Structure 1
Amino acid sequence: MESVKIENLLEKYFQGETSIAEENELRNYFSSLDVAQHLEQYKPIFGYFSLAAAHQFTPKIPPQSKKRNVAWISIAASVVVLLGIGTYAYYSADVVNKSQDLGTYDDPEEAFRATQKALSLLSDNVNVGIESVQYIQEYQTTKDKIFINAKKQSGGS
């Protein structure tokens, strides 16, 4: 009679429909010595669960070491931040000093030649830009003509 009940519980167990109390009943049955012969094949499954439940994990690393690591990491992070700020301040001050020396000439003739060269370069670039604008204007007028003719041919307004 008991083996029929256990077989029904096993079927419910493998379908995932058992309650915790029923699973405990199965575990108790298969951990006992009087298991039916035809149910012996399920004994290792429930025996493993009983063995695993008895096994407990004991940590080997003391938790105090984490606190020391956090302190050292925060000190190292502070040093890195201070080095970054110092490096930025050093190089930004150097760039400001270099930018103040630009554009000064002692000889007026040399300054005049440099100014003429810069204005010539600027003029060349402006002329290239004006030519590009002329192409765009020509494209726009051609496009407008095409669309006006297309509207007239289709009978649109």
Structure 2
Amino acid sequence: MVLNNIEKLLEKYENGETSLKEEQVLKNYFSSDTVAPHLETYKPMFDYFLVNQQEQFTKDVPLKTKRTFNYKWISVAAVTVLMLGVYFGKSFTNTNDLGTYEDPQLALNEVTKSLEMISKSFNKGTSTVGYLNEVNKGTSTLGYLNEIENATRIIFKN
């Protein structure tokens, strides 16, 4: 009679129709030493369930998460501020003032002043590099010394 009851409970268990009390009856039956030989295949499964039921999780679970600061958004904000600054900065400047002169003679005088200033600066710069001509003379003298050295090699080699 008990074996019939266990077989019916197993059939209900396989169909997923058992209650917790009926499952506990099955666990108790398969944990005992008197299991019918044709039901021995179910014993390891129910033994596993008993062992698994006693396992406990021992690791700590952190409940607070670290807040990480996302630096990508700072760069996006900085680029946005720069672009707005450039856009609105150009719109407030007077674009009609191109630096032109109405009087041609006045324009010629300003250009002449600018070119004279550039010429003075250029002449000043070239006067400070005048010593390079002396360096060129020295290197040409070294060229003559190389010819003398070649001649002495030929003489002493023979």
Normalising TM by the smaller chain, what interval? 0.5 to 0.7
Q: Give the corresponding residue for 1:59.
A: 59
Q: Give the corresponding residue for 1:46.
A: 46
Q: Return the alpha-carbon distance in structure 1 between the equivalents of residues 72 and 36 of structure 2.
A: 70
The alignment status of 1:90 with 2:86, answered yes or no, reads: no
Give, as a single letter, the amino acid of the residue that structure 2 aligns with 1:96. F
- Structure-to-structure mapping, 1:105-116, within 5 angstroms: 105=98, 106=100
Q: Give the corresponding residue for 2:34.
A: 34
CA deviation map 1:77-136 (0-9, x unaligned): 4x655554444333312222223344544368xxxxxxxxxxxxxxxxxxxxxxxxxxxx
| Partner-residue secondary structure (3-state), 2:7 | helix
CA deviation map 1:34-53 (0-9, x unaligned): 11112111111111111111
Structure 1 residues 27 and 84, CA gap change in structure 2 (3 angstroms) = same
Count of aligned pairs between the two proteins: 100
Identity percentage of aligned residues: 38
Determine which structure has the larger helix proportion and give its number.
Answer: 1
Structure 2, unaligned runs of 5 or more: 103-158
CA RMSD across the alignment = 2.7
Q: TM-score, normalised by structure 2?
A: 0.52
Give, as a single letter, the amino acid of the residue that structure 2 aligns with 1:91. M
Q: TM-score, normalised by structure 1?
A: 0.52
Larger C-alpha radius of gyration, 1 or 2? Answer: 2
- Structure-to-structure mapping, 1:8-157, within 5 angstroms: 8-60=8-60, 63=62, 66-67=64-65, 69-70=66-67, 73=68, 76-77=69-70, 81=73, 83-99=75-91, 100-105=93-98, 106=100
Give, as a single letter, the amino acid of the residue that structure 1 aligns with 2:24. N
